[in-house]
Structure 1
Amino acid sequence: MSEPWKEYEFPAKKVTWLQRDTLLFNLSIGCRADEPQFEGDPRFSTFPTYPLELVFKLDHSEVIGFYGTVGSTDIPGVHKLDPRGLVDGDRTVEIYKPLPTTLLGHDFEFRSKLIDVYDKGKSGIVVRSEDCLIDAKSGEYLFYVGQGNWGGPRGPRSDKKPCLIDKLIWFSRSKLDRKALICTASEVGKELGYGGIINHGVFGYNKIAHEMVRRLGNGDPSSMLRISAKFAGPVRPGDTLVIHLWKNGVVADGSEEVQWSAQVRGTGQECLCDGTAVIKPPTDFE
């Protein structure tokens, strides 16, 4: 069967941000007053998962809706897809180099290509793609964002098991507050049949990433090298997430691999599953 979408490359998309945007993102995912590295002191840093936001923001400087930059998707050999039926299946972020706090003095763009397309019949279509944030001047890679946009079944669960169960962590900082209002999706929640306002899945994903950096990487923004997870269910304003975390052991360069999952406290509904992350060992980051 012909697969004209294989390795199809979309036109490059410019991306821009200022320190104001960096600060707003850091605050929205729960960075606190005792983390000055995320709030503007001389060590001011961009949180490592910020590209998940930039994929949607691109070069817009104004507030935009969820569908503001998605638009219809044209894929060779596939009928036109309606973005209002788009649901995240999974996200993987790999960090090659720390992101500056502002685009000023730089020229970055996303270069995106298709990895695969699966026809699930009446259930929908699965689209797997990758977005690479690249310095357009030097060609240097900064980030890789892999994603699967699901309209069908989520597929089999991973059989991978932690070789060493070290600890179980739960925390309630994922409970939503006023800062989280910028990450709600009332339009999406209604369109996809969730009965009202939900939070964008990447919001909980980013808050969990922040807790990992804070607890396992001593707050050092360069401690996170990789993070991934599958999206399994909605999170609503007011929900508290329970995070299960297992240490898998040391990998290359002394970094540690962990597995994680997240459920909504009280209901036990899984919202993120099959999560993994690679964290560098704690430093004396001050």
Structure 2
Amino acid sequence: MPIDAAKALAAPPRTGSISWSHKDVQLYHLGIGAGLPATDPGELRYTLESGLRVLPSFATVAGAGSPGVIGGLSMPGVDVDLARVLHGGQSITLYRPLPAECAAAVTTRRIAAVHDKGEAAVLVMRTDVADADGPLWTDEARIHVRGEGGRGGDRGPSVRREAPAGPPDRAVERPVREDQALLYRLSGDWNPLHADPGFARLAGFERPILHGLCTYGMTLKAVVDTLLGGDVTRVRGYTARFAGVVYPGETLRIRMWHGGGGDRDSGGGEGDDGDSVGGGGEVRVIVSVVERGDAPALAGTVVTRS
């Protein structure tokens, strides 16, 4: 059954309640590669409950919960084959630092747009989250459904941005463990594309692929650790387009350009946490896969910082 755009857009928002504990935060951080080396103070802020800091990308799995992709596929007017679905991009706007524990937060979810890209339809799934103290974050997931375009609908705005000019200010490499997808899916994304070889082949991949949101989280952690002095509270927003697949066992090359609102603090060095960027502005990022000749993984990636 094709997507009924009018029905999807007219459907009333769905509300729900989510909660999380420090264990959920720690599991998420481990799922995106935190904790190596295990006794490194820079890693302990992600893995030790005393003084635990929450990476803002945790919002994408908080409460096991706000799975924008799976949630979007259960909305009125949307009846599609899961094997045709890809997560095309993700953005988060933060209103304040995320707490390590939350007894109750309210989610409000709706289809904000349906775009016809010709070869695919793109659903924009918006989720607003608030607790007793007010708004926490807004996230938007862009869900590509292959074979559902070409019906003459609105193409929507382009989300592509030109690549940054010149050499990056910093570049780091982050290995993806063979079991990374199996660990990451415990945070709530149970799509068999990331675990079942047969399902992955049915979807057109040689083997299970890494969750795009896992690459998304690994990238934000690299930016925070490398350019923001490990201070998660400096992240105000984060957006990325999933430009290609990553397979467990590969290596991410994360290149960063900082600009707008501040220069590097004096001092520091080549290691993580040693090159903090002062002031507000943006960090532009490109992520590629080392083993496949810098095949693209994330593009149009921007971290808005304070």
Aligned counterparts, 1:197-236, within 5 A? 197-236=208-247
What does the per-residue CA deviation read over 1:70-112, in whole Å, with 9 as the maximum and x for residues that have no partner?
Answer: 484333xx45223342211110011111222122xx3212211
CA contact (8 A) 2:8 2:78 kept: no
Aligned counterparts, 1:1-286, within 5 A? 3-6=6-9, 8-32=11-35, 33-35=40-42, 36-40=44-48, 42-54=50-62, 57-58=64-65, 70=71, 72-75=73-76, 78=77, 80-103=79-102, 106-120=103-117, 123-135=119-131, 137=132, 140-152=134-146, 158-160=160-162, 162=164, 165=166, 167-176=168-177, 178=179, 181-183=182-184, 185-187=194-196, 189-250=200-261, 254-267=279-292, 268-280=294-306
Q: Percent identity?
A: 20
What does the per-residue CA deviation read over 1:163-186, in whole Å, with 9 as the maximum and x for residues that have no partner?
Answer: x75734332224325455313612
In structure 2, do the counterparts of structure 1 residues 167 and 7 end up closer, same or farther at CA, with 3 Å as the change threshold?
farther
Quote the offset at 1:19 in angstroms. 1.4
User: How far apart, CA to CA, are the structure 2 residues paired with 1:197 and 1:177?
Assistant: 11
The letter of the residue matching 1:146 is: E
Quote the offset at 1:53 in angstroms. 1.5
User: How far apart, CA to CA, are the structure 2 residues paired with 1:67 and 1:39?
Assistant: 25
CA contact (8 A) 2:179 2:248 kept: no
What does the per-residue CA deviation read over 1:48-87, in whole Å, with 9 as the maximum and x for residues that have no partner?
Answer: 11011227x129xxxxxx9996484333xx4522334221
CA contact (8 A) 2:97 2:233 kept: yes
Task: Identify the residue that residue 283 of structure 1 maps to in structure 2.
Answer: none
CA contact (8 A) 2:9 2:111 kept: yes
Q: TM-score, normalized by length of structure 1?
A: 0.79
Quote the offset at 1:197 in angstroms. 1.5
Quote the offset at 1:259 in angstroms. 1.2
CA contact (8 A) 1:72 1:82 kept: no
Task: Identify the residue that residue 63 of structure 1 maps to in structure 2.
Answer: none
User: How far apart, CA to CA, are the structure 2 residues paired with 1:67 and 1:158?
Assistant: 21
User: How far apart, CA to CA, are the structure 1 residues paired with 2:78 and 2:282?
Assistant: 40
CA contact (8 A) 2:126 2:140 kept: yes
What does the per-residue CA deviation read over 1:215-235, in whole Å, with 9 as the maximum and x for residues that have no partner?
Answer: 111111212111111011110
User: How far apart, CA to CA, are the structure 1 residues paired with 2:72 and 2:159?
Assistant: 31
User: How far apart, CA to CA, are the structure 1 residues paired with 2:159 and 2:21?
Assistant: 39
CA contact (8 A) 1:263 1:270 kept: yes
The letter of the residue matching 2:65 is: L
User: How far apart, CA to CA, are the structure 1 residues paired with 2:51 and 2:138?
Assistant: 24
Unaligned residue ranges in structure 2 (runs of 5+): 150-154, 186-193, 263-277
CA contact (8 A) 1:216 1:279 kept: no
Quote the offset at 1:205 in angstroms. 0.9
In structure 2, do the counterparts of structure 1 residues 276 and 72 end up closer, same or farther at CA, with 3 Å as the change threshold?
closer
CA contact (8 A) 1:14 1:58 kept: no
Q: TM-score, normalized by length of structure 2?
A: 0.75
Task: Identify the residue that residue 267 of structure 2 maps to in structure 1.
Answer: none
User: How far apart, CA to CA, are the structure 2 residues paired with 1:174 and 1:233?
Assistant: 17
- How many residue pairs get aligned? The number is 263
User: How far apart, CA to CA, are the structure 2 residues paired with 1:222 and 1:129?
Assistant: 25
In structure 2, do the counterparts of structure 1 residues 110 and 259 end up closer, same or farther at CA, with 3 Å as the change threshold?
same
Quote the offset at 1:248 in angstroms. 2.9
